């Protein structure tokens, strides 16, 4: 009796497998027959009710039926997978021998746009635009900026060191050192460029970002001169007056030093990931050039003075275009870049 039941179940299940039109229907058959609570499982439980001498033979039949049905299920599942793959290939097939659909217009990266805009602004004010190498000497990146080897300020910048003792510059300030040594005073310059720090990446921090350094060396330079440049810059970029605050800050290459913060233009003040929930974004570290920096640049601090600032160009772009994640700027996502 059980033998006939197995034969009938196998025949009907094979027919249902062949008739299954979708993977979902096939899965329904598998669960009903081969599942933990399926028909074959129930028959297996009933094996104890038959005579011992018949149990071995029926058990073989049960295993044979199970193997046959599992094989049929696998073959049918493979057919569905192959059909789905072929349908996708037919839909996504591209004839690479066809000519391109036409030239797609490109555009400058938003960082490049803002950098060029600032360069034009400062050039109109009589400021020289200087550039320097991204691989720097330890002297230019630290020592000449009043940051000797034992100075705690070195711990503030996680540096990428190279095997030859050079480093990837952690700021654009080394261009100031080169500018003072090459041109001497009076000097009015900016230095835009890419910098590198070994930082953990998050919505407001990247290991690769952009700065714009500025410096003025002349006689009787004051904080008032510095604030004029700062306000002119921000008004030009944002096309309106923005809320800023000036607070004391420590930087070994300026004395006194300040932090010029801008009210976050992403959230407007309540707090967001970009401003670390503070409502403010650090934008312009600045101050009067430290006498030691002038001396190492070959300039007499008793005769000359100056101011310097380091603009976070990447963060400025984020504020200008309301970009809430710094990683978009280095991500290479064309959907993001085409917006500019």
Model confidence over 270-315: pLDDT tens digits?
Answer: 888 878 888 888 778 889 999 999 999 999 999 999 999 888 888 8
Global pTM? 0.62
Task: Summarize pLDDT for 13-29 with one digit per residue, the tens.
Answer: 888 888 888 888 888 88
Task: Summarize pLDDT for 107-157 with one digit per residue, the tens.
Answer: 889 999 999 988 998 899 899 999 999 999 999 999 999 988 877 666 666
138-157: burial string, b at 16+ Cβ within 10 Å, e else: bebbbebbbbeeeeeebeeb
The yes-or-no verdict on residue 40 having pLDDT over 90 is no
For domain 110-337, the CATH superfamily is Bira Bifunctional Protein; Domain 2 (3.30.930.10)
Cα distance between residue 338 and residue 333, in whole Å: 9
CB 326 within 8 A of CB 206: yes
CB 114 within 8 A of CB 317: yes
More confident residue, 160 or 269: 160
Cα distance between residue 293 and residue 147, in whole Å: 10
pLDDT at 156: 61
Cα distance between residue 146 and residue 282, in whole Å: 22
Average pLDDT, the chain: 85
Domain extents in the chain:
2-92, 110-337
More confident residue, 156 or 327: 327
The yes-or-no verdict on residue 56 having pLDDT over 80 is no
pLDDT at 201: 84
Between the CA of residue 11 and those of 28, 67, 68, 69, 214, what are the distances in Å?
A: 17, 13, 10, 9, 85
């Amino acid at each position: 009796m059980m033998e006939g039941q197995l034969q009938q179940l196998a025949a009907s299940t094979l027919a249902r497998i062949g008739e299954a039109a979708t993977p979902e229907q096939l899965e329904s058959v598998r669960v009903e027959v081969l599942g933990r609570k399926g028909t074959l499982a129930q028959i297996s439980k009933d094996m104890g009710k038959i005579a011992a001498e018949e149990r071995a033979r029926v058990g073989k039949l049960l295993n044979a039926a199970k193997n046959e049905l599992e094989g049929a299920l696998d073959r049918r599942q493979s057919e569905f997978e192959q059909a789905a793959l072929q349908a996708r290939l037919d839909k996504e097939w591209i004839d690479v021998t066809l000519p391109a659909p036409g030239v797609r217009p490109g555009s400058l990266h938003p960082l490049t746009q803002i950098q060029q805009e600032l360069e034009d602004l400062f050039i109109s004010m009589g400021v020289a635009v200087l550039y320097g190498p991204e691989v720097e000497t330890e002297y230019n990146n630290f020592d000449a900026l009043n940051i000797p080897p034992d100075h705690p300020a070195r711990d503030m910048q996680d540096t990428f060191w190279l095997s030859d003792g050079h480093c990837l510059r952690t700021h654009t300030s080394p261009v100031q050192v080169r500018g003072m040594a090459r041109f001497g005073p009076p000097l009015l310059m900016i230095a835009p460029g890419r910098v590198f720090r070994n930082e953990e990446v998050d919505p407001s921090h990247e290991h690769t970002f952009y700065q714009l350094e500025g410096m003025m060396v002349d006689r009787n330079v004051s904080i008032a001169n510095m604030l004029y440049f700062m306000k002119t810059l921000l008004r030009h970029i944002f096309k309106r007056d923005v809320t800023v605050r000036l607070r004391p800050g420590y930087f070994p290459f300026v004395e006194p030093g300040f932090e010029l913060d801008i009210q976050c233009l992403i959230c407007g003040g309540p707090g967001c990931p970009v401003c670390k929930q503070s409502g403010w974004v650090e934008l312009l570290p600045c101050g009067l050039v430290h006498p030691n920096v002038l001396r190492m640049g070959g300039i007499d601090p008793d005769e000359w003075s100056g101011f310097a600032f380091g603009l976070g160009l990447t963060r400025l772009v984020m504020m200008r275009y309301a970009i809430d994640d710094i990683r978009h700027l280095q991500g290479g996502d064309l959907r993001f870049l085409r917006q500019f």
